[in-house]
C-alpha cells in the first residue's frame, strides 16, 4: 500500500517531513533512504491523531478544557488527565485511521520476517527538553498483532494527556492547537545483542572516535540502564580499537512470549564475554561514519545485531551535549610557527 | 592526576632512597672502580632518580661507562649551554651495582626561565629555521668523523723503528703514536656524542608539540596514530633490515635460496656459496654492497662493547635470512611499500585535519605538523651514524688496544680491556709505552689480571640482582622535556610503578599501549641480546628494551612487551610495522613475568595479564 496522509512508509519520508512524522520518524526515513540498514516500518502521521482528536472533540471538548487549567492546579489536571486518557484509549477510531493502520500493519508483517513491532512516539517538537517533559518518549517493544499495535498507538497519543505532560504545557502556556504526535511502527529486531553508539566520545567530546556500548539481548536493557554495557572505543579514521571494557552483564531483555519485554538473568558463561567481536565493532564503526556523514554532524545511534549477525539501526539523533558546548580553540596559528614549541619547552604545561 | 607534594615534614610517598641501596657484598672494590663523580653521595637522597634501563639494561662494566659519561656531557651542554632549554639543564648520572641511575636538573626560578627562554628563542629557533641546511652539514660532519676514525693508524710497537722513519727524520717513536691514537679515539667518541645531541632535543620537542596538540584536539587519539602521522619511512635506521630483505630476494632470484637454512653458520653458507660459482659469487657481491655501510649496525643500541656489529658477527643477519626467504616465497612483498605508506600517512593527516573544529585550528595543525615533518628525519636517522656506525668503530679500536695489551701480558684476553676505566686504560698504555721505550718489563701484568677477574665476577653477580626502577622522593610534576621525551617518564608512569610495588600479587602489568591487538602466548623473557635465539615462532618477546637490530625477531614473535620505552620507542615502531600487539614502558615486565609463563598482551589498552 502507498503512503498517504495517515501513513508514511520510511522510504517515502525524510527529516523535512518532521511536522507530520516527528523527529524519530523523519530520521528513520532519512536513514532508510540513505541505504542504512533500518528495520522496515511506517509512521502514523500527526494527521491520524488530529482526525481522532477532532472526532473526540465532537462529543466533548478537549483542547479548551486543557487550556482552561492553570499549571499549579494539580488536582484538576490529574482528574482531567484520567478522563482524557481513558477517552483516547477507548473511543472508537475514525474508520479511515483504523483501516489504514491495520492495512499498514498487515503489509509490514508480510515484508518483515518478524511480525512483532516496536511502537514509539515521535515528537514533532525540535526541542528535546520539550519532548521529554511532554512525555513524548514512549516505546512499546515486541508488540504482537494489529489489535495490540493499535492499542499501543493510542497509548502513545494518550501520553500527551499525562499529568506531567499537561502541567508542562500549561506552565509554558503552549497552545493546545499545536499539540500533535506521530507514532512510529517498526519491525522488531530479535536482537542477540544491542546497544547505543556515539560518533563522538561522550566522555571527552573527541570527534575522532566512535564509542560503542552494548550488551546481550534487546537494547532496552542498555538504554534504560538496567545493565552495565560493555564499552568499546574505536578510532573513526584508523579503525584501531583502543578501549574494550567488558562488564558483568548480569541481566538481559528478551521478548516475552505474550508480547513485550521480560528481564532475565544472563547465563553465567556469557556475562563476562565481550558482546561484540572486533569485526562487529569495525562494522558498526562503518555504519556510524556513514550516518554521521549523511547528517553532517555527530550522532547518537541505537543499534542491534540480530540472531543471524545482521546489523540494524533502530534510531539516530543528533548528539547535543558536546555539540552545544563552546570550546576554546586548542591552538591558534602563530605568526612565527616556531612559537608553538614553547608549549613544550616553555615550562609547566 | 593525583599529585604528591614532596616536603620535609610529611613522609612523602616514594621509592627507596639512594643511601638505602647497598653495594652487593664482595663487590665493593669493583664498585669503587667507577670514577668518584659517578658514585652516590648522601646529598643524592634529596633528589629523584630513575634506573635508565632503556639505555643500560644490563650492569655496565667500568669502561663502557664512557658512553654514559660522553652522552650526558653532550646532552647537558646542548641543553644547558648551546640551545638554552628554558626549564631544564642536563642530566646527572650515578652508578651502583653496575646500574645507571639518572636524574634531571630542572630550572624553577621564573626569572631564570625567562632569561633562558630569550636565549632559547635566539638559538633553537635558528636551528629550526635552518634545519635542512644544518642537518645536511651535520651529515657531512658525521661522515668526516667516521672517515677520521676509520683512518686511525694500526697499533704497532716494533722491535726497531722502521728504517724509513729514521731516514725521514720523523723523530717521534711509535710508542707516542699509541698514546696519541688512544687520546684521539676518546676525543672522537666524546665529539660524536656532541653531534648526537646537536639536534635531538629540538627534534623531539617539535614532535612533542604536535603530539600535544593532537592529544588536546582528540583526547582519545592513540599515541601510535600520532606517531604514524609523523614518522618518515626513509630513515637510515630502517636500511639494514631493508638490505636483508633485498638479499633474501636476491638469493631467490639467483636460485640459491636453499643454501640458507637454520642451523647453518655464516661461514658454512659463505663457503658453499663460493663453491657454487657465478650465482654464489653474485650473491656475495650483493652482500658486500649491503655490508658497507649498512651492516655497521650493532645488535644493541651502542651502549655495550659486546653488542657487536653485524659486520663483525654475521650470525645475527644470517639467522634472519631463512625467515625472510620463506616469507618471500609465500608471496609476501619484502620491500617496505614506502609509496603506499606515505600515501596512508598523507590521508591520515588530512582525515584528522578535517575533524578539527575551526579553520584556525587547522592552520595551527598545519604549522605544527610541518615542523614535526621537518625535524623527524634527524630523530629517526641519527642513530645509524652515532650509536651504530661510529660506536662500532670506537669499540673496535679499543679492542685493538686490548689485543696489544693482552699480547704484552696485561690480561689474558683482548676483551678484558673493557674492565679498565678509560683513565686506567690510559695508565696501562703509558705503562706499556714506558716499558717499550726503556726495555724493562711493564708493571701491568702483575696488576691487572686479578682486578679484571674481580670486576668480571662483580658484573656477573650484579646481573643476578634486581634493582628498583626509581630512587628517592617522587616529584609532584615531571616537567623536564628531556626526561619526558627521551625516557617517556611521566608522573602517571611513576604512580603505576609505585602501585606495582604495593600490589605484588596483581596479575596485571600496565604500560604504554604501543601497538594494537590482543594475543595470548608463551612469554620469552630475554634479558640480553645474545639470548635472542631462544625465541621460538609465536613466542611473546618480553625484554627490557629493544633496538633496531632486534627488528629481525619481529618476524618470529606474536607480541612484544618491554620495560622501557614510549610510543615512539623502537619496539613500538617495529611492532606497528609488523602489526603485532605491543605494550612498552611497563617498568617491571622482565621482573614480573617468568620465562615460559602464559600471558595475554592487550596492545590497545597497554595491559599485560599473567595467565598462570
Pick the last residue of a domain from B335, B353, B386.
Answer: B335
Identity of the residue in B208, B220, B370 whose CB atom sits nearest the CB atom of A344? B208
- Could you tell me if residue B98 is inside a domain? no
CB pair distance less than 8 Å for A344 and B209? yes
Same domain, A261 and A130: no
Same domain, A104 and A167: yes
CB pair distance less than 8 Å for A338 and B371? yes
- Could you tell me if residue B564 is inside a domain? yes
Q: Do the beta carbons of residue B565 and residue B545 sit within 8 Å? A: yes
Please name the residue of chain B whose CA is at the shortest distance from the CA of residue A210: B220
Specify the pLDDT at position B591. 84
- Could you tell me if residue B290 is inside a domain? yes
- Could you tell me if residue A341 is inside a domain? no
- Could you tell me if residue B208 is inside a domain? no
> How many domains in chain B?
2
Q: Is the pLDDT of residue B436 over 60?
A: yes
Distance from CA of B101 to the nearest CA of A (A): 24
- B320-326: list long-range contacts, CB under 8 Å, 24+ apart: B320/B244, B320/B552, B320/B555, B321/B244, B321/B247, B321/B248, B321/B251, B321/B260, B322/B260, B322/B261, B322/B262, B323/B552, B323/B555, B323/B556, B324/B244, B324/B245, B324/B247, B324/B248, B324/B555, B325/B248, B325/B251, B325/B252, B325/B257, B325/B260
Distance from CA of A215 to the nearest CA of B (A): 21
Range(s) of the domain holding residue A291: 191-318
As a whole number of angstroms, the distance between CA B297 and CA B289 comes to 14
CB pair distance less than 8 Å for A236 and B355? yes
Same domain, A94 and A237: no
pLDDT digits (tens, 9 = 90+) for B568-597: 566 776 777 677 888 887 878 888 899 999
- Could you tell me if residue A2 is inside a domain? no
Same domain, A249 and A312: yes
Distance from CA of A203 to the nearest CA of B (A): 9
Look at residues B582, B610, B603 and name the one whose alpha carbon lies nearest to residue B509: B610
- Could you tell me if residue A255 is inside a domain? yes
C-alpha cell at B575: 611492532
pLDDT digits (tens, 9 = 90+) for B229-263: 998 766 787 888 889 989 999 999 999 999 998 77
Beta pairing partners, B375: none
Specify the pLDDT at position A244. 85
- Could you tell me if residue A251 is inside a domain? yes
Range(s) of the domain holding residue B243: 236-297+308-335
CB pair distance less than 8 Å for B221 and A347? no
Q: How far is CA B244 from CA A157, B256, B347, B403, B554, in A?
A: 74, 15, 30, 32, 14
- Could you tell me if residue B523 is inside a domain? yes
Query: How many A×B Cβ pairs under 8 Å?
Result: 133
Identity of the residue in A206, A331, A334 whose CB atom sits nearest the CB atom of B218? A206
Beta pairing partners, B91: B104
Please name the residue of chain B whose CA is at the shortest distance from the CA of residue A235: B221
As a whole number of angstroms, the distance between CA A75 and CA A73 comes to 6
Same domain, A51 and A144: yes
- Could you tell me if residue B263 is inside a domain? yes
Pick the last residue of a domain from A187, A202, A231.
Answer: A187
Distance from CA of B135 to the nearest CA of A (A): 17
Specify the pLDDT at position B1. 30
Specify the pLDDT at position A282. 96
Indicate the pLDDT class of residue B554, thresholds 50, 70 and 90. Answer: confident
Same domain, A202 and A264: yes
Pick the last residue of a domain from A187, A203, A222.
Answer: A187
CATH of the domain at A230: 3.30.470.20
Same domain, A222 and A246: yes
* Percent residues over pLDDT 70 in chain A: 95
Distance from CA of B110 to the nearest CA of A (A): 9
Same domain, A295 and A232: yes
Same domain, A61 and A118: yes
- Could you tell me if residue B424 is inside a domain? no
SS3 assignment, position B175: helix
- Could you tell me if residue B436 is inside a domain? no
> How many domains in chain A?
2
Q: Which residues of B touch A242 (CB under 8 A)?
A: 220, 222, 513, 516, 604-605
In terms of pLDDT, which residue wins out, B395 or B587? Answer: B395
ipTM of the complex: 0.83
CB pair distance less than 8 Å for A242 and B513? yes
Half-sphere exposure at residue A300, Cβ-oriented, CA atoms within 13 angstroms: 11
Q: Which residues of B touch A347 (CB under 8 A)?
A: 86-87, 113, 479
Q: What is the DSSP letter of B566?
A: -
In terms of pLDDT, which residue wins out, A348 or B147? Answer: B147
Q: Is the pLDDT of residue B476 over 90?
A: no
> How confident is the model over A220-239, as a mean pLDDT?
90
CATH of the domain at B595: 3.50.30.10
CATH of the domain at A30: 3.30.1490.20
Q: Which residues of B touch A336 (CB under 8 A)?
A: 125
Q: Is the pLDDT of residue B171 over 60?
A: yes
Pick the last residue of a domain from A164, A187, A210.
Answer: A187
Please name the residue of chain B whose CA is at the shortest distance from the CA of residue A206: B218
Same domain, A119 and A197: no
Q: Is the pLDDT of residue B513 over 80?
A: no
Q: Is the pLDDT of residue B65 over 70?
A: yes
> How confident is the model over B174-194, as a mean pLDDT?
97
Please name the residue of chain A whose CA is at the shortest distance from the CA of residue B482: A345
Distance from CA of B366 to the nearest CA of A (A): 9
Please name the residue of chain A whose CA is at the shortest distance from the CA of residue B226: A238
Q: Which residues of A touch B481 (CB under 8 A)?
A: 344-345
Q: Which residues of A touch B206 (CB under 8 A)?
A: 341
Same domain, A90 and A207: no
Give yes or no for a cis peptide into B293 (omega within 30° of 0).
Answer: yes
- Could you tell me if residue A105 is inside a domain? yes
- Could you tell me if residue A326 is inside a domain? no
CB pair distance less than 8 Å for B120 and A348? no
Amino acid at each position: 500500500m502507498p503512503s498517504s496522509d495517515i501513513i508514511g512508509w520510511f522510504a517515502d519520508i525524510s527529516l523535512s517531513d518532521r511536522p507530520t512524522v516527528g523527529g524519530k520518524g523523519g530520521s528513520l526515513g532519512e536513514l532508510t533512504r540513505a541505504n542504512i540498514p533500518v528495520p522496515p516500518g511506517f509512521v502514523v502521521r500527526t494527521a491520524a491523531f488530529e482526525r481522532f482528536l477532532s472526532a473526540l472533540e465532537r462529543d466533548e471538548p478537549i483542547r479548551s478544557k486543557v487550556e482552561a487549567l492553570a499549571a499549579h492546579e494539580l488536582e484538576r489536571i490529574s482528574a482531567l488527565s484520567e478522563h482524557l486518557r481513558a477517552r483516547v484509549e477507548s473511543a472508537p477510531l475514525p474508520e479511515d485511521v483504523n483501516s489504514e493502520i491495520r492495512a499498514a500493519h498487515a503489509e509490514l508483517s508480510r515484508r518483515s520476517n518478524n511480525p512483532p513491532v516496536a511502537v514509539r512516539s515521535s515528537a514533532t517538537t525540535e526541542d528535546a527538553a520539550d519532548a521529554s517533559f511532554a512525555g513524548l518518549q514512549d516505546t512499546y517493544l515486541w508488540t504482537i498483532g494489529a489489535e495490540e499495535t493499535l492499542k499501543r498507538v493510542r497509548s502513545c497519543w494518550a501520553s500527551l494527556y499525562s499529568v506531567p505532560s499537561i502541567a508542562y504545557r500549561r506552565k509554558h502556556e503552549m497552545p493546545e492547537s499545536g499539540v500533535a504526535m506521530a507514532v512510529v511502527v517498526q519491525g522488531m529486531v530479535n536482537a542477540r545483542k544491542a546497544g547505543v553508539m556515539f560518533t563522538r566520545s561522550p566522555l571527552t567530546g573527541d570527534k575522532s572516535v566512535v564509542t560503542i556500548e552494548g550488551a546481550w539481548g534487546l537494547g532496552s536493557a542498555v538504554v534504560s540502564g538496567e545493565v552495565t554495557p560493555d564499552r568499546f572505543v574505536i578510532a573513526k579514521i584508523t579503525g584501531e580499537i583502543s578501549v574494550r571494557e567488558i562488564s558483568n552483564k548480569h541481566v538481559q531483555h528478551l521478548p516475552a512470549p505474550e508480547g513485550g519485554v521480560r528481564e532475565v538473568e544472563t547465563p553465567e558463561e556469557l556475562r563476562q564475554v565481550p558482546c561484540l567481536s572486533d569485526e562487529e565493532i569495525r562494522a558498526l564503526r562503518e555504519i556510524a561514519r556513514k550516518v554521521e556523514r549523511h547528517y553532517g554532524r555527530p550522532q547518537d545511534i541505537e543499534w542491534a545485531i540480530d540472531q543471524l549477525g545482521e546489523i540494524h539501526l533502530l534510531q539516530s539523533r543528533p548528539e547535543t551535549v558536546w555539540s552545544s558546548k563552546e570550546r576554546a580553540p586548542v591552538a591558534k596559528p602563530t605568526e612565527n610557527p616556531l612559537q608553538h614549541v614553547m608549549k613544550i619547552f616553555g615550562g609547566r604545561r | 592526576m593525583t599529585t604528591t607534594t614532596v616536603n620535609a615534614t610529611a613522609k612523602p610517598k616514594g621509592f627507596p632512597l639512594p643511601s638505602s641501596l647497598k653495594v652487593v657484598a664482595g663487590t665493593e672494590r669493583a664498585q669503587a672502580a667507577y670514577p668518584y663523580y659517578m658514585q652516590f653521595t648522601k646529598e643524592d637522597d634529596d633528589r629523584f632518580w630513575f634506573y635508565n634501563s632503556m639505555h643500560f639494561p644490563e650492569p655496565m662494566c667500568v669502561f663502557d661507562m664512557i658512553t654514559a659519561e660522553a652522552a650526558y656531557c653532550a646532552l647537558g651542554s646542548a641543553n644547558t649551554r648551546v640551545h638554552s632549554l628554558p626549564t631544564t639543564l642536563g642530566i646527572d648520572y650515578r652508578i651502583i651495582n653496575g646500574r645507571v641511575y639518572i636524574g634531571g636538573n630542572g630550572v624553577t626560578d621564573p626569572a631564570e626561565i625567562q632569561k633562558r627562554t630569550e636565549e632559547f628563542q635566539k638559538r633553537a629557533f635558528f636551528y629550526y629555521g635552518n634545519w635542512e641546511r644544518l642537518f645536511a652539514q651535520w651529515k657531512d660532519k658525521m661522515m668526516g668523523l667516521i672517515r677520521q676514525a676509520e683512518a686511525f693508524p694500526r697499533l704497532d710497537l716494533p722491535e726497531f723503528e722502521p728504517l724509513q722513519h729514521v731516514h725521514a727524520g720523523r723523530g717521534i717513536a711509535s710508542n707516542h703514536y699509541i698514546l696519541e691514537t688512544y687520546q684521539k679515539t676518546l676525543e672522537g667518541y666524546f665529539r660524536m656524542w656532541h653531534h648526537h645531541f646537536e639536534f635531538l632535543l629540538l627534534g623531539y620537542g617539535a614532535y612533542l608539540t604536535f603530539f600535544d596538540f593532537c592529544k588536546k584536539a582528540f583526547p582519545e587519539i592513540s599515541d601510535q596514530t600520532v606517531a604514524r602521522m609523523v614518522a618518515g619511512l626513509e630513515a637510515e635506521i630502517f636500511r639494514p633490515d631493508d638490505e636483508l630483505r633485498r638479499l633474501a630476494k636476491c638469493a631467490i632470484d639467483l636460485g640459491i635460496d636453499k643454501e640458507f637454512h637454520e642451523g647453518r653458520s655464516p661461514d658454512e653458507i659463505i663457503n658453499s656459496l663460493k663453491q657454487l660459482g657465478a650465482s654464489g659469487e653474485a650473491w656475495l657481491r650483493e652482500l658486500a654492497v649491503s655490508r658497507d655501510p649498512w651492516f655497521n649496525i650493532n645488535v644493541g643500541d651502542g651502549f655495550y662493547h659486546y653488542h657487536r656489529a653485524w659486520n663483525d658477527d654475521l650470525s645475527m643477519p644470517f639467522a634472519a635470512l631463512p625467515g625472510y626467504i620463506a616469507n618471500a616465497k609465500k608471496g609476501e612483498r619484502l620491500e617496505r611499500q614506502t609509496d603506499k605508506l606515505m600515501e596512508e600517512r598523507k590521508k591520515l593527516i588530512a582525515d584528522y585535519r578535517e575533524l578539527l573544529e575551526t579553520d584556525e585550528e587547522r592552520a595551527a595543525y598545519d604549522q605544527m605538523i610541518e615542523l614535526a615533518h621537518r625535524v623527524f628525519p634527524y630523530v629517526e636517522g641519527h642513530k645509524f651514524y652515532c650509536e651504530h656506525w661510529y660506536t662500532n668503530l670506537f669499540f673496535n679500536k679499543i679492542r685493538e688496544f686490548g689485543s696489544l695489551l693482552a699480547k704484552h701480558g696485561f690480561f689474558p684476553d683482548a676483551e678484558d680491556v673493557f674492565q679498565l676505566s678509560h683513565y686506567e686504560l690510559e695508565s696501562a698504555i703509558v705503562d706499556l709505552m714506558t716499558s717499550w721505550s726503556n726495555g724493562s718489563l711493564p708493571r701491568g701484568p702483575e696488576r691487572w689480571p686479578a682486578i679484571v677477574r674481580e670486576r668480571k665476577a662483580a658484573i656477573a653477580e650484579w646481573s643476578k640482582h634486581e634493582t628498583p626502577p626509581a630512587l628517592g622522593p617522587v616529584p609532584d610534576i615531571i616537567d623536564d622535556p628531556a626526561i619526558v621525551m627521551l625516557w617517556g617518564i611521566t608522573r602517571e608512569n611513576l604512580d603505576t610503578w609505585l602501585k606495582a610495588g604495593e600490589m605484588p600479587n596483581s596479575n596485571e602489568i600496565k604500560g604504554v599501549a604501543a601497538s594494537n591487538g590482543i594475543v595470548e602466548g608463551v612469554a620469552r623473557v630475554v634479558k640480553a641480546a645474545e639470548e635472542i635465539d631462544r625465541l621460538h615462532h609465536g613466542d611473546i618477546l618480553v625484554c627490557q628494551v629493544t633496538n633496531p637490530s632486534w627488528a629481525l625477531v619481529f618476524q618470529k614473535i606474536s607480541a612484544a612487551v618491554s620495560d622501557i620505552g614510549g610510543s615512539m620507542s623502537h619496539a613500538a615502531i617495529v611492532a606497528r610495522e609488523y602489526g603485532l600487539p605491543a605494550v612498552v614502558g611497563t617498568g617491571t615486565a622482565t621482573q614480573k613475568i617468568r620465562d615460559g609463563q602464559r600471558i595475554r598482551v592487550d596492545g590497545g589498552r597497554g595491559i599485560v595479564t599473567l595467565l598462570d
